[in-house]
């Protein structure tokens, strides 16, 4: 089989990871070895050439591991396939390899698996020319699916994506998958990593998956229930599988797993995951709202993480159905429809866990009447208020309902406020394991009648809740803060004594920067001007206008992202609108805005790896081992760069820097030692700025404490 390996490229950082060295070592190899592979115009290296050079020069003693080869292949596939299509291709390929492996075991009497004719096994098809392999795989997959109805649609759709995209890469991909994973468990682990990457690149694909932290919280709250486990909106199956995996194998084999989903693609992914995990599950392509109540399972555990913000989620027949024991849900929101459906599915001692938007716990009108009826019936055991941005595709706060079968004798509900727990990152909020343990402990302590964690949890009388509009927002019932005047004074004094130290640290960084000069002397710097094109690739953005939301979008890095000085909502571009000249950014690129007042540039971090470069922007990507990414960014922030921009800018209403003019710019390239020292010094100054900001924060906190002391003293004296 002819291999398209030369089409796959890797960055300097990836070469360093393959060889187990630092990035600077790769730079030294390029400088000292003239035969080192030459990068292409984007600054990337041919993977096959890199492998040959590393082996021949004793940097590695065996071929590049398959695990390293897979992700560069994915980068190439992203040019022609959407993220979810890549996920489907991986799923189909991994299931195919698993079926072939199990069939081989069955020939040896070690397994009773799907029969795969030898002519359709990977060991035979892998010998075909790459030009026809994708089509032959599609035909073989169709015949294998016909042989085993349980595999229907698990193989063909993924291989069809391969045939429609870069079909010549399929052989390399499946070969590397086969080498990287030799067991079902390893194939499942690979698929999980692929899905994780797909969801990071395409945040909207996460609609059919539950965030990892929320999954852990729900699974731990579920405990070890025996019997039926049901997910009414199972999506890609991750939540249902996690709940099943928590059980021991003996209990698991006796349990029954049931899942419903209306998205065919999401259900196929769920079926693939369960097949690779060797777990039996009854997964159905059905709308749970249209299943007659008598046909719903009575489950010991019901899990529901439905899509958020569902409007017009059914028709009049469903809205008017008499199944709604506690009141007909509004067509404007399906939140309380899912809550009621979960209650209907509960067995006698079952537990339900339903994730909704936070609006469901406080919305008025019909939702208020439904909550009142549920409170009177005693079906709400607890509500956990969760922060926003737990999902990457929305900032909406969430609420987790802990449900039980009707208990008219219930007198109270546990309300837990988790909105202040965890850490907010650039794009998503996350919980520490200790945060999850704390939330689970509060629910369990309440269930045992024990004292709960009073900092985050409160037991509220049902009568009081109904009198207050059945609002179940935990923050509403947080006890009034008791002011400890002595403690306030101690905190104020601590801040007062700490302020001089923080101020001195900032001043020290400023003083050190004043004395900094290049160690190699000014003469070499003066002689170091180079044509920018000789040491870096200059790439022009061509992405079309962005969309705020897109089901098939690629993250955009354009002028707005360059100008942003804080995390902002990600913009996207339709994949179908990307041309062949689209530039996908790499970590270490410096993006320069070509239009607008002033000079704006931004250093690309791993958070924006793979984003497409927008119009009116250029990316400067170092190609010479003599130039670092950090120094390139420093140069674009300097007055020397601003002066060159000023002399080449045209227009008054919206000044523009001509792309060809940027190509002609000169950049000083001092010795690497000075480049690293300059980056370190500027980092120290940035740290000093952060210290000054901390001083400002401490002063604001001191002001707030003093203000509280004044008010507390006035209240106590009155």
Instruction: With CA atoms as reference, report the closest residue to 263 among 74, 83, 88, 86.
Output: 88
**Helix, strand, coil % over all residues of the chain, rounded to 5:** 50, 15, 35
552 shares a domain with 447: no
The verdict on 585 and 626 lying in the same domain is yes
d(CA 398, CA 359): 8
- Which of 335, 306, 143, 297 minimizes the C-alpha distance to 234? 306
Give pLDDT, residue 353: 98
Give the 3-state secondary structure of residue 468: coil
Does the residue 487 lie in any domain? no
Q: Which of 201, 219, 249 is the last residue of a domain?
A: 201
Indicate which CATH number applies to the domain containing 422. 3.40.50.150
Q: What is the pLDDT of residue 2?
A: 37
Q: Which of 626, 645, 669 corresponds to the end of one domain?
A: 669
Is residue 305 assigned to a domain? yes
**Are residues 49 and 102 located together in one domain of the fold?**
no
Q: Which residue has the tokens 């009447």?
A: 369
Distance CA 46, CA 6 (A): 6
pTM above 0.85, yes or no: no
* Residue showing tokens 């984007």: 42
- Residue 228 parent element (H or E): strand 228-231
Are 580 and 640 in a shared domain?
yes
703 domain-assigned: no
Q: Which two tokens stand for residue 329?
A: 């849900």
Residues 352 and 454 in one domain: yes
Low-confidence ranges of the chain (pLDDT < 50): 1-6, 109-110, 521-523, 525-526, 567
Specify whether 319 is located in the same domain as 441.
yes
Determine the structural domain holding residue 89 and report its residue range: 83-201
182: three-class secondary structure by DSSP: coil
Q: Is 96 within the bounds of a domain? A: yes
Instruction: Report if residue 520 sits inside a domain.
Output: no
Final residue in a domain of this structure, among 474, 507, 538? 474
Q: Which tokens go with 637? A: 């922030």
Asked whether residue 387 falls in the same domain as residue 437, the answer is yes
- Looking at the structure of the chain, the number of domains it has is 4
Do both 311 and 407 map to the same domain? Answer: yes
């Amino acid at each position: 089989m002819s291999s398209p390996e030369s089409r796959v490229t890797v960055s300097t950082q990836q070469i360093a990871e393959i060889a187990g060295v630092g990035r600077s070592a790769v730079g030294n190899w390029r400088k000292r070895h003239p035969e080192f592979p030459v990068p292409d115009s984007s600054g990337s290296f041919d993977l096959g050439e890199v492998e040959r050079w590393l082996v021949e020069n004793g940097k590695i003693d065996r071929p590049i591991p398959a695990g390293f080869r897979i992700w560069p292949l994915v980068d190439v596939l992203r040019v022609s396939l959407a993220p979810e299509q890549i996920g489907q291709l991986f799923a189909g390929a991994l299931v195919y390899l698993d079926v072939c492996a199990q069939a081989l075991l069955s020939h040896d009497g070690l397994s009773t698996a799907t029969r795969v004719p030898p002519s359709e096994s990977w060991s035979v098809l892998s010998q075909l020319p790459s030009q026809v392999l994708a089509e032959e795989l599609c035909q073989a997959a169709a015949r294998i699916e016909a042989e085993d109805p349980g595999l229907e649609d698990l193989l063909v759709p993924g291989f069809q994506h391969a045939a429609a995209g870069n079909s010549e890469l399929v052989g390399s991909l499946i070969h590397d998958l086969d080498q990287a994973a030799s067991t079902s468990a390893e194939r499942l682990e690979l698929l999980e990593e692929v899905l994780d990457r797909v969801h990071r690149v395409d945040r909207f694909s996460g609609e059919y998956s539950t965030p990892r932290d929320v999954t852990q919280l729900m699974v731990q709250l579920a405990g070890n229930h025996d019997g039926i486990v049901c997910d009414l909106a199972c999506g890609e199956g991750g939540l249902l599988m996690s709940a099943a995996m928590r059980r021991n194998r003996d209990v698991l084999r006796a349990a029954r797993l049931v899942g419903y989903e209306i998205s065919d693609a999401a259900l196929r992914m769920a079926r693939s995951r369960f097949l690779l995990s060797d777990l039996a599950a009854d997964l159905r392509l059905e709308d749970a709202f249209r299943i007659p109540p008598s046909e719903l399972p009575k489950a010991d555990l019901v899990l529901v993480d439905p899509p958020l913000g569902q409007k017009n989620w059914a028709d009049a027949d469903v809205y008017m159905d008499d199944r709604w024991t506690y009141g007909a849900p509004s067509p404007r929101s399906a939140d309380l429809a899912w809550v009621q459906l979960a209650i209907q599915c509960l067995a006698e001692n079952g537990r339900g866990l339903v994730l909704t938007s936070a609006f469901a716990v406080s919305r008025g009108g019909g939702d208020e009447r439904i909550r009142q009826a549920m409170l009177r019936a005693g079906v709400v055991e607890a509500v956990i208020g969760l922060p926003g941005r737990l999902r990457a595709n929305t900032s909406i706060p969430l609420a987790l309902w802990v449900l039980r079968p009707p208990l008219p004798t219930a007198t109270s509900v546990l309300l837990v406020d988790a909105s202040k727990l965890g850490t907010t990152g650039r794009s998503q909020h996350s919980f520490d394991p200790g945060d999850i343990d704390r939330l689970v402990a509060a629910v369990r302590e309440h269930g045992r009648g024990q004292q709960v964690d009073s900092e985050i949890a409160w037991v509220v009388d049902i009568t009081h809740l109904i009198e207050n509009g059945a609002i179940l927002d935990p923050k509403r019932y947080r006890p009034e803060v008791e002011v400890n005047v002595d403690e306030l004074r101690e905190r104020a004094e601590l801040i007062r004594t700490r302020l001089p130290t923080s101020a001195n640290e900032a001043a020290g960084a400023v003083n050190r920067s004043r004395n900094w000069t290049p160690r190699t002397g000014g003469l070499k710097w003066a002689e170091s001007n180079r044509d920018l094109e000789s040491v870096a690739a200059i790439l022009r953005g061509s992405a079309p206008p962005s969309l705020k939301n897109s089901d098939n979008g690629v993250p955009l890095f354009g002028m707005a992202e360059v100008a942003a000085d804080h995390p902002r909502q990600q913009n996207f571009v339709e994949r179908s609108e990307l041309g062949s000249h689209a530039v996908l950014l790499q970590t270490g690129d410096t993006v320069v805005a070509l239009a607008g007042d002033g000079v704006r540039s931004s250093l690309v971090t791993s958070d924006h790896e793979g984003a497409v470069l927008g119009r009116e922007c250029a990316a400067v990507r170092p190609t010479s081992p003599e130039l670092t990414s950090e120094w390139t960014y420093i140069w674009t922030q300097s007055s020397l760069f601003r002066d060159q921009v000023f002399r080449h800018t045209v227009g008054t209403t919206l000044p523009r820097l001509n792309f060809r003019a940027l190509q002609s710019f000169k950049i000083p390239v001092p010795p690497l030692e000075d480049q690293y020292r300059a980056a370190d010094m500027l980092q120290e100054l940035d740290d000093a700025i952060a210290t000054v900001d901390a001083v400002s924060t401490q002063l604001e906190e001191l002001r707030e404490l003093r203000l509280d002391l004044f008010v507390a003293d006035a209240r106590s004296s009155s």
